[in-house]
Amino acid sequence: MGAPMNSGDESLDAVGRHAHWFVRAAFLSVFLYTGIDKFMGSGIDGFAAVMELPYLMALLVALAEIGAGALIVLGGLTNGWITRLGAVMTVPVMLGAIVMEHWGQWHFMATPTHPLGGMMFQVTLLLVALYILVRGNEF
């Protein structure tokens, strides 16, 4: 964790050891928000209905999002396998979101055919998750 940088600038190298927290914070904010948001408003029932998922599957998606964000941060305080577990939890969630809702449009803006927008953001999250999965705490 916190692989040393060799930029030639001592100050940048000192801060660079902690740069992984930016990625962890981004993942936490996205997945914690989207996971908790599925419990708000019309709740898991509403999310399940909109996505045409069984209630249990919708619940598992929400819990996976919350858990993934938390584990990626917790992994930064413990070990790379906790980080990897958080990353791998996002993979089926992102693949499901891409295939079920966002496929067919790249741009993230909502359109009449894609009211939740295209897959640009979800593909980016998926690729970052795969990178974290491979690297563990050495990113």
The domains of the chain are located at 10-135
Nearest C-alpha neighbor of 102 from the set 85, 83, 115: 115
- pLDDT tens readout for residues 49-63: 999 999 999 999 999
Q: Which long-range contacts (CB under 8 A, 24 or more apart) does 101-108 make?
A: 101/51
pTM for this one?
Answer: 0.85
- Asked if residue 76 lies in contact with residue 34, where contact means CB atoms within 8 angstroms, the answer is no
Residues 65 and 70: their CA atoms lie apart, in Å, by 9
9 vs 59, higher pLDDT? 59
Say which residue the tokens 């958080």 belong to: 86
2, pLDDT greater than 90: no
DSSP-assigned states of every residue in 67-128: HHHHHHHHHHHS-HHHHHHHHHHHHHHHHHHIIIIITT--SSS--SS-TT--SHHHHHHHHH
Estimate to the nearest angstrom the gap between the alpha carbon of 106 and the chain centroid. 18
- Those residues whose C-beta lies under 8 Å from the C-beta of residue 111, and which sit 6 or more positions away, are 105, 117, 118
Kindly report the average pLDDT of the chain as a whole number. 90
Nearest C-alpha neighbor of 94 from the set 20, 35, 46, 47: 35
- pLDDT tens readout for residues 15-29: 888 889 999 999 999
